Amino acid sequence: MPRSNNDKHPLFYVAEGDWPHVALAADAPLSAHCGLLLARDLEQTMRSRDLSLRGLAEIASVAHSTVARVLNGDVLPDIGTLTRLEDALDHQLWPGPSAVRDAVVSAGRTVA
């Protein structure tokens, strides 16, 4: 289902590199930057805790395909999925508005 503002999935906005170690296109919306930061943090957190995709999915009570799609930039997680992942990891994945703005500014884009 398309988002009301017609943002595409974060992976759509990759300008160069391999997800999630990419540069986003100059016109990437804030949601794409948020999805990128979230995917990077999720990947790093899983690696540091030696958690597999299926292992995290099991303890978070979400489908492993959903975790994979978030990690791959194919979707932005809904609030329920994000909450279950954060609770299972006891770690905040949502980067928050200031981190997203900082990422956009460091990418050379201005924030209105």
Range of the domain at 31: 10-106
Whole-angstrom CA distances from 76 to 39, 94, 109, 110 are 9, 11, 21, 22
Asked if the structure places residue 3 within a domain, the reply is no
Fill in the DSSP letter of residue 77. Answer: P
Give the tens place of pLDDT for each residue, 52-107.
Answer: 999 999 999 999 999 999 999 999 999 999 999 999 999 999 988 888 888 888 87
Asked if the structure places residue 1 within a domain, the reply is no
CATH number at residue 80: 1.10.260.40
Other Cβ atoms closer than 10 A to 25: 15
Range from 15-19, 35-39, 57-61, 105-109 carrying the lowest mean pLDDT: 105-109
